[in-house]
Amino acid sequence: MIVWEGHAGGTGDTEAAIDDVGLADGCGGIETQQQLALAVGAVDPVLHELARVARASYDAGLAALRPGKTFGEVCTAMTKPVLDAGCWHLTPLIHSLAPLAFTSATGVGIEQMPGLSRFKGIGTRGAFGGDLVIEPGMTFELEPNACRADRRVNIGGTVVVTKTGVEELNRIAAEMRIID
């Protein structure tokens, strides 16, 4: 199933049009998700930078997601590259798939979003399940997004926790893809 998530910037005339596409399918009897950022045409340097920031958050998640760590520790590790780059994020950077329902904070730094006053009830929502201890066999969606002004790049895919770290089920969605 392909789900179009939204337009992340670019006019399509003089700069790239970029869209985030969420893919949900099954692997081994569990749901998997991929957050695919597709750009067509010349890509604005801001979008390239946001893609680098999102990838740094993804890599931080890969490094931190280990048996014995807490979900909160992984969330903190993934948030650091986004905030260090002066960005904000709209949606979760990580959420669990099995077990279900654990999620990182959303809307972190959202006060930087242009036009925020037009929306009611928008703000930062804290993480849920920070005390969850990571164990082999758990699955997570690493889906970091980085925003600056009205631009956003969202990447990521599903990982399975192993005894020594994680196994990525799909690396294609782990970086922005550009179509010339």
Average pLDDT in the chain: 85
- Residue, of 115 and 55, whose pLDDT is higher: 55
> Has residue 9 got a pLDDT over 60?
no
Q: How many structural domains does the chain have?
A: 1
What are the tens digits of pLDDT across the range 138-149? 999 999 999 999
pTM for the model: 0.84
- C-alpha dihedral (37, 16, 79, 118), degrees to nearest 10: -110
The pLDDT tens digits of the residues spanning 75-107 come to 999 999 999 999 999 999 999 999 988 999 999
Question: Could you report the per-residue pLDDT of 117-138, keeping only the tens digit for each?
Answer: 888 888 899 999 999 999 999 9
- Band the pLDDT of 1: cuts 50, 70, 90: very low
For 152-164, what is the mean pLDDT?
95
Please say whether the beta carbons of 3 and 141 come within 8 A. Answer: no
pLDDT band at 155 (very low <50, low <70, confident <90, very high): very high
User: Domain containing 86: what range?
Assistant: 2-179
C-alpha to C-alpha distance for 93 and 43, rounded to whole angstroms: 23
Q: What is the pLDDT of residues 47-71, one digit of tens each?
A: 999 999 999 999 999 999 999 999 9
Structure tokens at 110: 């959202």
Please say if the pLDDT value at position 11 is more than 50. no
Alpha carbon distance 145, 92 (integer Å): 8
DSSP string computed for 3-22: EEEEEEE--SSSS-EEEEEE
Domain holding 14: CATH number? 3.90.230.10
